[in-house]
Amino acid sequence: MDANGLGAFASVQDVTKTYFKGKIRVPVLNHISFEVQPGEVLAIMGTSGSGKTTLLNLLGGIDRPDTGRIQVAGSNLTALGDGALARWRSRNVGFIFQFYNLLPALSAARNVELPLLLSSLNASERRSRVMEALNLVGLSDRAEHRPEELSGGQQQRVAIARALVAEGDLLLCDEPTGDLDRESSIQVMDLFRVLNQEFGKTIVMATHDADVANCAHRTMHLTRAESSS
């Protein structure tokens, strides 16, 4: 791909990110640059604390870099104000986390519906989108169950359905199989394959699991930067 990142789905250019814990500087990302191509599945690996979650947060517009430029799905995230960045995020990104992040008081269907509440769809259009997504992840018969009534693997599939109805082209996954047994992990990875190949989602996932990374088109390794006071 060309050096300007034109044509790339996501382009991270010379990005740095440092946190402060009191007076201690915690440099996390140190002038990193890479691109993600449209339709690519990219795995990010690296030891604990190497910045995988930080990087996902930057790509998803949850956090901002100290320096550098991040362009995703045609938008220069570093140039957007807070309101515009939040709107961009809701239209463009689905997030999948290790611990599912479902709202415990809501049924599976209501959890999946959440990203649609800001859309212009009416209740019956929302319901049919929700049921299509639950059907795709094999949970249409669990629509009225609350998260605590579902296994970990089923909860993660609800989270995948929620990311699917969000309709953005980018799926960001942080240790999506981290809390699952092998069989549930395989189901989740199979679903990612469907989302990638049939729905054209570009997927970036942070993982410690080499089997999961093997499902990606490419793996990027982060190394931990040294702290200093």
Ligand X SMILES: Nc1ncnc2c1ncn2[C@@H]1O[C@H](COP(=O)(O)OP(=O)(O)OP(=O)(O)O)[C@@H](O)[C@H]1O
Binding site for ligand X (CB under 6 A): 19, 21, 26, 28, 46, 48-54, 206
* Minimum separation from the CB atom of position 155 to ligand X (A): 19
Cα dihedral: 103, 160, 6, 3 (round 10): 90
Nearest in space to 203 (alpha carbons), one of 211, 5, 213? 213
Name which of 45 and 85 has its Cβ closer to ligand X.
Answer: 45
* Minimum separation from the CB atom of position 66 to ligand X (A): 13
Name which of 119 and 219 has its Cβ closer to ligand X.
Answer: 219
- Alpha carbons within 13 angstroms on the beta-carbon side of residue 168 total 26
Name which of 52 and 129 has its Cβ closer to ligand X.
Answer: 52
* Minimum separation from the CB atom of position 63 to ligand X (A): 8
* Minimum separation from the CB atom of position 59 to ligand X (A): 12
Nearest in space to 194 (alpha carbons), one of 177, 171, 214, 211? 171
* Minimum separation from the CB atom of position 47 to ligand X (A): 7
What angle is formed at CA 99 by the lines to CA 117 and CA 107, rounded to 5 degrees? 40
Q: Tokens 């980018």 map to which residue?
A: 170
- Alpha carbons within 13 angstroms on the beta-carbon side of residue 95 total 19
Q: Is the Cβ–Cβ distance between 15 and 68 less than 8 Å?
A: yes
Q: Is the Cβ–Cβ distance between 42 and 204 less than 8 Å?
A: yes
* Minimum separation from the CB atom of position 177 to ligand X (A): 13
Name which of 149 and 211 has its Cβ closer to ligand X.
Answer: 211
Nearest in space to 94 (alpha carbons), one of 117, 112, 82? 112
Name which of 12 and 165 has its Cβ closer to ligand X.
Answer: 12
Name which of 26 and 80 has its Cβ closer to ligand X.
Answer: 26
Q: How many CB atoms lie within 10 A of CB 181?
A: 11
- Tokens read off for 152: 């970990």
